[in-house]
């Protein structure tokens, strides 16, 4: 089965070609279909901002490392012990992680720390993927396969919203207008956020946010971000500040934007060795800030499925490459010129709308 994979560890942006990481298409064995498993013919698999970090060896260096965790597809086989009711022909998306349900963390309401989280983490930027039935969610009829591959990033936006403990009417700022930032913005808007602000240096991403319901945008390179934030919030600061940029430069100023008693969610991946100074007196004593992060998104998928029809996803799913052009697709992703890059793994689209 053809699978997109990291074939050489290294930064995909390394100017030195001999050191640069590499993406390729490799042949990987079909996964076995266990009794509780579902085999999915993959329609679309989206490139994630985390994929280049995998190429850098963030989660291990044994190549090839199969990629793809944001996918949609059509069920082509189910094991004979499947009990969720999912059937051959169903249009689905899902969670690339299976939470076992039996380990200590799973039993304690903390599935994100499941001790067997890697067991079913299989590459989905491939012709097929086989998942446990608990990973699979049927897409609403109104959501195309093309938009449906955004279920997983939408689940991350839901999880970010959960971690903010947002109250209706809270003032919210989001730093970073990539896919997670845009989806988080839409989720926060539905959640009753006010003074909703996107902080983002790229103009096209600010425009996209305004079209999707942001009330304000700040260009952190051209404007004084703290002064704009004070102006927008009447000097109080934001009750909720979310980082979706993963930028070590961008995160430094975010604590200054938070209101007293506010919550700051670091909702991205950061370099292993990145450390940020933290003035405990200012931010934890005087301002009583809550600082938190997001690793993966347990308990968020059922609600993400419900939200999909209410989100404007088309702006994120406009760029599509066929599977055999996966290398070009990654180059397009790295160029930063596309909001999101999708790979069409099989031609399964239904009707002209998709
Ligand atoms: Zn992702
Ligand atoms: Zn577990």
- Got the DSSP string for 238-256? EEEEEE-S--HHHHTTGGG
Q: Is 60 left (phi over 0), alpha (psi -120 to 50) or beta?
A: left
SS3 for 23-49 is EEEEECCCCCCCCCEEEEEEEEEECCC
Average pLDDT over residues 63-89: 96
For 37-71, letters b (16+ CB in 10 Å) and e give bbbbebbbbbbbbbbbbbbbbeeeeebbbbbbbbb
Angle between helices 179-190 and 203-211 (to 10 degrees): 20
**Ligand with an atom nearest the CA of residue 96:** 1
At 255-273, the pLDDT tens digits run 999 999 999 999 999 998 9
Average pLDDT over residues 219-224: 97
Q: Tell me how far the alpha carbon of residue 304 is from its chain's centroid.
A: 12
At 294-325, the pLDDT tens digits run 999 999 999 999 999 999 999 999 999 999 99
pLDDT of amino acid 61: 86
Q: Write out the H or E segment, with its range, that includes residue 291.
A: strand 290-293
- Residue 246 pLDDT > 50: yes
Q: In the structure, what pLDDT confidence band is assigned to residue 14 with cuts at 50, 70 and 90?
A: very high
**Ligand with an atom nearest the CA of residue 52:** 1
**Contact between 206 and 198 (Cβ < 8 Å):** yes
**Ligand with an atom nearest the CA of residue 97:** 2
Beta strands 238-243 and 171-175, pairing class: parallel
- Cα distances from 165 to residues 74, 155, 192, 222, 291, in angstroms, run 35, 16, 12, 31, 12
- Got the DSSP string for 202-220? -HHHHHHHHHTT-SEEE-T
Q: How far is 124 from 42, CA to CA, in rounded Å? A: 7
At 21-70, the pLDDT tens digits run 999 999 999 999 999 999 999 999 999 999 999 999 988 889 999 999 99
Average pLDDT over residues 81-91: 97
For 169-192, letters b (16+ CB in 10 Å) and e give ebbbbbbbbbbbbbbbbbbbbebe
Of the two residues 4 and 353, the one the predictor is more confident about is: 4
Where are the alpha helices (H) located in 276-325, listed in sequence order? 301-307
**124 C-alpha to ligand 1 centroid (Å):** 12
**269 C-alpha to ligand 1 centroid (Å):** 10
- Residue 199 pLDDT > 90: yes
**Ligand with an atom nearest the CA of residue 103:** 2
- Residue 353 pLDDT > 50: no
Q: In the structure, what pLDDT confidence band is assigned to residue 150 with cuts at 50, 70 and 90?
A: very high
Mean pLDDT of the chain, nearest integer? 95
**Contact between 81 and 50 (Cβ < 8 Å):** no
Percentage above 90 pLDDT, the chain? 94
**Ligand with an atom nearest the CA of residue 156:** 1
pLDDT of amino acid 60: 87
For 274-306, letters b (16+ CB in 10 Å) and e give eeeeeeeeebeeebebbbeebebbbebbeebbe
Tell me which residues have their CB within 5 A of the ion that is ligand 1.
48, 50
- Residue 20 pLDDT > 70: yes
**225 C-alpha to ligand 2 centroid (Å):** 42
Question: Where do the domains of the chain lie, and which CATH numbers do they carry?
Answer: 2-150+313-344 (3.90.180.10), 157-293 (3.40.50.720)
**34 C-alpha to ligand 1 centroid (Å):** 26
- Residue 230 pLDDT > 70: yes
Whole-prediction pTM: 0.95
pLDDT of amino acid 354: 41
Average pLDDT over residues 154-176: 97
Q: In the structure, what pLDDT confidence band is assigned to residue 351 with cuts at 50, 70 and 90?
A: low
Edge-first strand listing for the sheet containing 22-27? 22-27, 2-8, 65-66
**110 C-alpha to ligand 2 centroid (Å):** 9
Q: How far is 24 from 330, CA to CA, in rounded Å? A: 10
**329 C-alpha to ligand 1 centroid (Å):** 16
**Ligand with an atom nearest the CA of residue 114:** 2
Percentage above 70 pLDDT, the chain? 99
Tell me which residues have their CB within 5 A of the ion that is ligand 2.
100, 103, 106, 114
Residue that is written with structure tokens 């699979």 in the block: 136
Residue 174 in tokens = 């989001």
Q: In the structure, what pLDDT confidence band is assigned to residue 349 with cuts at 50, 70 and 90?
A: confident
pLDDT of amino acid 172: 98
Q: In the structure, what pLDDT confidence band is assigned to residue 101 with cuts at 50, 70 and 90?
A: very high
């Amino acid at each position: 089965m053809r699978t997109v994979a990291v074939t050489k560890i290294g930064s995909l942006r390394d100017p030195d070609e001999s050191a640069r990481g590499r993406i390729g298409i490799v042949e990987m064995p079909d996964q076995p279909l266990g009794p509780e498993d579902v085999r999915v013919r993959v329609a679309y698999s989206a490139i994630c901002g985390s994929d280049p970090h995998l190429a850098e060896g963030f989660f291990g260096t044994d190549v090839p490392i199969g990629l793809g965790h944001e996918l949609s597809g059509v069920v082509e086989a189910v094991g004979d012990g499947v009990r969720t009711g999912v059937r051959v022909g169903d249009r689905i998306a899902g969670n690339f992680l299976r939470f076992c349900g039996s380990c200590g963390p799973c039993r304690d309401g903390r599935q994100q720390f499941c001790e067997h989280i890697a067991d079913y983490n299989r590459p989905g930027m491939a012709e097929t993927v086989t998942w446990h039935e608990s990973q699979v969610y049927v897409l609403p009829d109104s959501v195309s396969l093309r938009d449906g591959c955004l279920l997983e990033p939408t689940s991350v936006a839901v999880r970010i919203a959960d971690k903010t403990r947002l109250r209706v009417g809270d003032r919210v700022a989001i730093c970073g207008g990539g896919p997670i930032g845009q989806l988080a913005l839409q989720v926060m808007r539905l959640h009753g956020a006010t003074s909703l602000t996107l902080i983002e240096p790229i103009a096209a991403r600010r425009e996209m946010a305004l079209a999707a319901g942001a009330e304000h945008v700040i260009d952190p390179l051209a404007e004084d971000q703290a002064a704009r934030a004070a102006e927008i919030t009447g000097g109080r600061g934001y009750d909720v500040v979310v980082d979706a940029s993963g930028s070590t430069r961008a995160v430094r100023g975010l604590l200054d934007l938070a209101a007293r008693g506010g919550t700051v969610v670091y909702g991205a991946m950061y370099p292993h060795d990145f450390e940020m100074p933290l003035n405990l007196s200012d931010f934890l004593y005087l301002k009583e800030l809550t600082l938190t992060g997001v690793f993966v998104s347990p308990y968020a998928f059922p609600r993400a499925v419900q939200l999909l029809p209410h989100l404007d996803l088309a702006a994120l799913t406009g760029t599509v490459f066929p599977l055999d052009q996966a290398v070009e697709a990654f180059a397009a992703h790295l160029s930063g010129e596309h909001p999101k890059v999708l790979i069409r793994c099989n031609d399964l689209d239904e009707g002209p709308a998709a």
